[in-house]
Amino acid sequence: MSGVAGILHDLWYTNLVCIDANQSQLTDNLKKKGIKVIIGHGKYEVSIKDAIIYSEATANSVEVLESRKLITKHQLMMFRMNYFQFLGEISKYFTTIGITGTNGKSSTTALAIYAAQDLPQFGLGILGALVPDFDNQSYLINPDHKTEIKWIFNHIFTGKPKSNIDGKMKDLVFVVEACEYKRHFLNLDLDYAAITSMEFDHADYYKDFDDYKSAFTEMLSKLKQKAVVLAGFLERFPEFLPYADKIEEIQEESHNFEHIFGPHVNKNASLCDALLSKIDPKFTIHHPKLKAFKGLRRRLEYLGETNKWARLFSDYGHMASSIGFGFEALKTRFPDKKITVIFQPHQITRIFTGRDDFVPSFKWYDEIYIYDIYAARENLSDFDFSRRWDNIHNIVELWNTFAKACSGTYTDQRSDIEKIIENGTENEIIVVYSAGDIDYQIRTRISLKQKN
């Protein structure tokens, strides 16, 4: 959501108000732009004249609920869309590339936007993570086309004619991270797509893996051109064979970057190469300039060294496979170092459904710590533990049992996590996996030496 606010700001919109439940680096960045930020819901009085764009997490916030009441009260139309609906509207006016999949979609989207920015066809790109190469923002706009893009946004907001740009914008490319949660990517008017990987996720919404895959089937049925996947995809997932004419399997190639590393980088870069070659046949991801890509925030992001010289990394990973990929990448880069993992689980449902995958994913780490849950969209007070595991009656019992199964230690104290990091030594790599709040807490409280 912060990316949409940043785009609107950079397209010269004023009177922007951003509301979030908690302070974070995202809200800090918005304040630096001069955008009004309110921490805490219920402090802003919604007007029928407002245009409201909201995230999935705030669908039942005071502001969104009040907007519904205003529409009923005044019997008037009001601009109100969730984040994915708004991206869907934007996608109608560009040649749109969506990058999706269980793992790797943010990293691949960031690399694709970074690589596409020098193409004359590039218009706009957005993803759900901050990117150092984009001035620590989650989006990029081609400055040569800001005026035309502003016309499009005005049309979306007001319905007024799009001036003289009908047909022209389809010559420009919109690169977007296409999230499959609740089938949100079906809002997008996709021309091309990449599917990075596929395993069962979002168990709070999808009934099972078949239901999860059915969302991708729907996406492919709407896709106008091609979906790029890695070789072997159709063999692993024969249910997609009816859409084989829209699926292009490519071979994974080796790629060397200065700052990002790990086997998954080869997969991401190969998909980017294939996608952008469809926009410009002369494009190649092997261009020397592109090797300087620094990656993105919270994707094995190197934060610096602790006072005792341990190297500290942060990663958004919350799937078992992410934890395995991270170890493989770190051990390849630092073969002689001890590797300590701190994991903040993201949603109880994900842990229950993926427990058998999580336990072995930790087995290669030297020390394992499980931090308190980041529940996100779940209400812990409503969770029925008795229906899941025997002898588990509450959240503390759950995490102690989970940590023991992973050969680790559980703590719900942030101070414990800070001590673990501060006591790390020069022969140690510490990686924090979290899709939640511990990342921001670490950044604001842990003293680190200058990165090198």
H or E element that contains 441: helix 438-445
> pLDDT for 37-89, tens place per residue?
999 999 999 999 999 999 888 888 999 999 999 988 888 778 999 999 999 99
Residue 353 tokens read as 């459904």
Q: How confident is the model at residue 379 (pLDDT cuts 50, 70, 90)?
A: low
351 or 50, higher pLDDT: 50
402 or 55, higher pLDDT: 55
Is a pLDDT exceeding 60 seen at residue 288?
yes
Q: 424-441 as b/e, with b when 16 or more CB fall inside 10 Å?
A: beeebbbbbbbbbebbbe
Is a pLDDT exceeding 90 seen at residue 180?
yes
As a whole number, mean pLDDT of residues 198-204 equals 84
Is a pLDDT exceeding 90 seen at residue 138?
yes
Check if the beta carbon of residue 296 is closer than 8 Å to that of residue 107: yes
Residue 262 Cα to chain centre, angstroms: 19
Which pLDDT score, from 0 to 100, does residue 393 have?
66
Q: How many angstroms separate the CA atoms of 8 and 157, rounded?
A: 11
What is the residue-averaged pLDDT of the chain?
87
Q: How confident is the model at residue 385 (pLDDT cuts 50, 70, 90)?
A: low
Q: How many angstroms separate the CA atoms of 203 and 283, rounded?
A: 38
At residue 250, φ and ψ (nearest 5 deg) are: -125, 160
**Which residues are within 8 A (CB) of 82 and not within 5 positions of it... i.e. 6 or more apart?**
53, 54, 55, 56, 59
Which of 332, 403, 407, 329 has its CA nearest to residue 363? Answer: 407
Which pLDDT score, from 0 to 100, does residue 36 have?
95
pLDDT cut 90: percent of the chain above it:
50
Domains for the chain: give ranges and CATH numbers.
Answer: 2-78 (3.40.50), 85-292 (3.40.1190.10), 301-445 (3.90.190.20)
Check if the beta carbon of residue 201 is closer than 8 Å to that of residue 195: no
Where is average pLDDT lowest: 3-17, 91-105, 196-210, 434-448?
A: 434-448
Q: How confident is the model at residue 153 (pLDDT cuts 50, 70, 90)?
A: very high
- Measured at the alpha carbon of residue 409, what is the angle toward residues 203 and 382, in degrees to the nearest 5? 35
Which of 1, 39, 29, 35 has its CA nearest to residue 16? Answer: 35
Q: How many angstroms separate the CA atoms of 88 and 185, rounded?
A: 8
Tell me the pairing of strands 247-250 and 227-230.
parallel
Q: How confident is the model at residue 296 (pLDDT cuts 50, 70, 90)?
A: confident
Which pLDDT score, from 0 to 100, does residue 337 have?
92
